[in-house]
Amino acid sequence: NVPITYSGYELGSQIWTGQHLAREAPADSPVLAAYRWYGDRCNTTLKSYDPVTVLYGFLGLGGWAELGVAPMFEYANADGYNSVDAVDGINTWVEDASVRNQHWLRLRPEVTVSDVEEVLNRLLVQSPHAAKDHSGQMIENLLRSQLPI
C-alpha cells in the first residue's frame, strides 16, 4: 500500500509557465534552453504538468509553514485508483472504497491558477549559478519574498 499521488491533466493543462523566460532568465539558463527545445524558440509558454508535480513534491499538501507558504494543493478524492488501458494508454479513475492509497491533486479553493503560475515562473527564471554557494538559501529567500499566498 505505497501512497501514490497523481498530478493529472485537470491540473497541468490549466497552468502555463515559461512566459517570462526569454525576458527574465539568464541567457545560459538550462531551463530556458529546455523550454526552447521542447516548445518553440519564439514561444516558451508551455502547459505545466511536470513543473506542477515537482512543486507538489517540494511543498506537499501542507505548504511550507516556516516560510509562510500556505498549502496550495489538496487531494481531490478519498478513495479509488488509476486504471491504464494497455492498448491505448488512456487512464481512467475508478471509484473503489477498498483502495485508499491513491489520490489525485487539485488546487485548494483559495488558491488560483495564477498563484501557481507566479510561483513556478519565479522559480524557473532563477540563475542556476545563484545557488552555488548558498545551498538552498536562494530558494528560501525566493519563496519568502515572492509567494503571493
Given a contact cutoff of 8 angstroms between Cβ atoms, the answer to whether 125 and 23 are in contact is no
- Which pTM does this prediction carry? 0.81
Give backbone dihedrals phi and psi of 81, rounded to 5 degrees, phi first: -155, 160
What is the per-residue pLDDT for 149? 47
Mean pLDDT by 10 residues, the chain (149 residues): 91 92 89 86 85 92 81 95 95 95 96 91 81 58 56
Residue 59 to residue 140: CA distance in whole angstroms: 12
What is the per-residue pLDDT for 119? 87
What is the per-residue pLDDT for 65? 77
